[in-house]
């Protein structure tokens, strides 16, 4: 049996600690700790409680000691765009905002006064989303400029947590690209862009790639968890890690990294920056080994997660899939990317309101709501595939669905039907697997990315879904 590697994978709704190791050439995973996550509403603001999250990171690390399974290294990944500002004593400045907070409303207009939207896309290749870090920082500049004046360091959240563990600061490249402040040519921060926007460029650290050593644990952390290890950078944007785990060793394919968000795209050796891409809202996020993830951000399972919470989590996701299938003839559809679904006070009411506004039948039961969400998502995937193939001038035969959403069999089937493609679903823990792959490659247990992907294909169950018309023949 190989050595243990620890992936701390924190999503917007939950976090998990996964131990990975190789056995007879296959990767094995063991979930050792899980915790809830979510933004806290404080005085009308949506914030992350970083102290609580860091305490959970430590709790999961202690679990390794209890189990007698000590990892040789660890890495942390989270969702994108959110960050901290630190003062000269490395203390937090201001609140740690969540990306669904409304402080970024209209900040795209403020940014647009300083740089044209078209030029911004040309410079960064990143799609416009109102919560991108570039707009979050504009909100700071407009509302609390004194924080930017006092800031000494800017760190994305995984980088901040790894700084708390080691005392060393490092900025990871894949996650940094989600800020819309990185050059896809230089693979570093675009300092001219920062100057133009009036952001202090000296607070941004040089970008480093997955596989880089951040440091060893601080002495007090070693005492608390009971061991020491290497803290490594993985693709710390969770989608970068998930896409690493796409179980296709050769050839090209479309992927959907399916979780709270659905990220649909392809891997490209260089950024695809075209006007058509910009208008269709495709983005070029940084990937492992400087590969680009040319993808579109789609609302994802956030809508069904929210409805489930509104029904007091009384139904499992599997039960919601079944109820959606029972109500498959319910005719209404919503645009899942409409801003009204980003952070409504009540998702059920938002869906009902949308159907009312568009003169459609209004869903009343949880099964009808689930049917509307899943069918609307699949329709959105169908349109996104057409756009993608149009932009890159190429047709693809299959889609790999990775991440937690790959377990939603009904949605996988709908996606096969809507896109006309064969769907390969799994692995469900793609993000943690990608996180561990970066560590194993660094430690030379896996040779390189193609080799590691082959290992993933051979190690985990992959389910196949074909379009129903095809299946009937």
Residues marked active site are found at 238
Cα 337–chain centre separation: 16
**Distant-in-sequence, close-in-space partners of 470: CB < 8 Å, separation ≥ 6:** none
Long-range CB contacts for residues 374-377, cutoff 8 Å, separation at least 24: 374/304, 374/321, 374/324, 374/408, 374/410, 374/411, 374/414, 375/324, 375/328, 375/330, 375/333, 375/414, 376/333, 376/334, 376/335, 376/336, 377/262, 377/298, 377/299, 377/300, 377/303, 377/336, 377/411, 377/414
How far is the C-alpha of 300 from the C-alpha of 85, rounded, in Å? Answer: 29
SS percent in the chain: helix, strand, coil, step 5: 45, 20, 35
Q: Among positive and negative, which fits the CA dihedral 66, 68, 69, 72?
A: positive
- Given a contact cutoff of 8 angstroms between Cβ atoms, the answer to whether 306 and 320 are in contact is no
Which value, in Å, is the radius of gyration of the alpha carbons in the chain?
22
- Given a contact cutoff of 8 angstroms between Cβ atoms, the answer to whether 321 and 415 are in contact is no
**Distant-in-sequence, close-in-space partners of 90: CB < 8 Å, separation ≥ 6:** 152, 153, 163
Q: Residue 257 forms beta bridges with which residues?
A: 263, 402
Token pair of 166 as six digits: 């080691």
Under the phi-then-psi rule, with left for phi > 0, alpha for psi from -120 to 50, and beta for the rest, what region is 403?
left
How far is the C-alpha of 133 from the C-alpha of 155, rounded, in Å? Answer: 11
Token pair of 89 as six digits: 């004593």
Output phi, psi for 292, to 5 deg. -100, 140
Under the phi-then-psi rule, with left for phi > 0, alpha for psi from -120 to 50, and beta for the rest, what region is 26?
beta
Q: Please report the DSSP string for 205-231 in residue order.
A: PPEE-TT-EEEEPPHHHHHHHT---EE
Q: Residue 398 forms beta bridges with which residues?
A: 422
Report the run of H or E that residue 425 belongs to, with start and end: strand 422-425
């Amino acid at each position: 049996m190989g050595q243990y590697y620890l992936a701390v994978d924190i999503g917007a709704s939950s976090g998990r600690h996964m131990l990975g190791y190789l056995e007879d050439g296959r990767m094995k995973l063991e979930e050792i700790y899980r915790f809830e996550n979510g933004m806290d509403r404080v005085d009308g603001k949506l914030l992350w409680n970083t102290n609580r999250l860091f305490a959970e990171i430590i709790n999961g690390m202690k679990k390794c000691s209890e189990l007698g399974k000590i990892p040789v290294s660890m890495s942390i990944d989270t969702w994108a765009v959110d960050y901290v500002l630190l003062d000269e004593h490395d203390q937090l400045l201001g609140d740690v905002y969540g990306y669904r907070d409304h402080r970024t409303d209209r900040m795209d207009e403020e940014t647009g006064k300083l740089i044209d939207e078209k030029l911004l896309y040309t410079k960064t290749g990143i799609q416009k989303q109102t919560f991108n870090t570039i707009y979050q920082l504009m909100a700071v500049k407009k509302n609390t400029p004194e924080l930017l004046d006092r800031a000494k360091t800017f760190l994305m959240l995984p980088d901040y947590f790894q700084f708390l563990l080691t005392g060393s600061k490092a900025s990871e490249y894949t996650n940094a690209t989600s800020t819309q402040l990185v050059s896809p040519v230089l693979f570093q921060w675009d300092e001219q862009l920062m100057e133009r926007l009036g952001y202090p460029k000296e607070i941004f650290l040089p970008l480093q790639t997955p596989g880089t050593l951040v440091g060893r644990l601080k002495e007090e952390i070693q005492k608390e968890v009971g061991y020491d290890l290497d803290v490594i950078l993985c693709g710390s944007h969770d989608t970068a890690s998930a896409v690493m785990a796409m179980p296709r060793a050769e050839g090209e394919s479309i992927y959907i990294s399916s979780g709270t968000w659905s990220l649909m795209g392809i891997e490209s050796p260089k950024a695809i920056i075209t006007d058509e891409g910009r208008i269709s809202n495709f983005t070029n996020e940084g990937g492992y080994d400087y590969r680009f993830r040319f993808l579109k951000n789609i609302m994802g399972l956030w809508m069904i997660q929210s409805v489930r919470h509104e029904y007091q989590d009384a139904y499992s996701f599997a039960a919601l899939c079944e109820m959606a299938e029972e109500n498959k003839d319910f005719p209404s559809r919503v645009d899942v990317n409409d801003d009204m679904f980003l952070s409504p006070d009540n998702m059920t009411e938002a869906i009902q309101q949308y159907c009312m506004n568009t003169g459609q039948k209004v869903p009343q039961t949880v099964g009808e709501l689930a049917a509307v969400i899943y069918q609307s998502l699949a329709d959105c995937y169908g349109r996104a595939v057409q756009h993608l193939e149009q932009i890159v001038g190429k047709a693809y035969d299959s889609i790999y669905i990775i991440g937690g959403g790959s377990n939603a069999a009904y949605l996988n089937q709908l996606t096969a039907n809507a896109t006309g493609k064969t769907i390969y679903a799994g692995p469900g823990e793609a993000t943690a697997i990608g996180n561990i792959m970066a560590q194993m490659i660094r430690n030379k247990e896996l040779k390189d990315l193609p080799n590691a992907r082959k290992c993933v294909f051979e190690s985990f169950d992959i389910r196949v879904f074909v379009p129903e018309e095809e299946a009937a023949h």
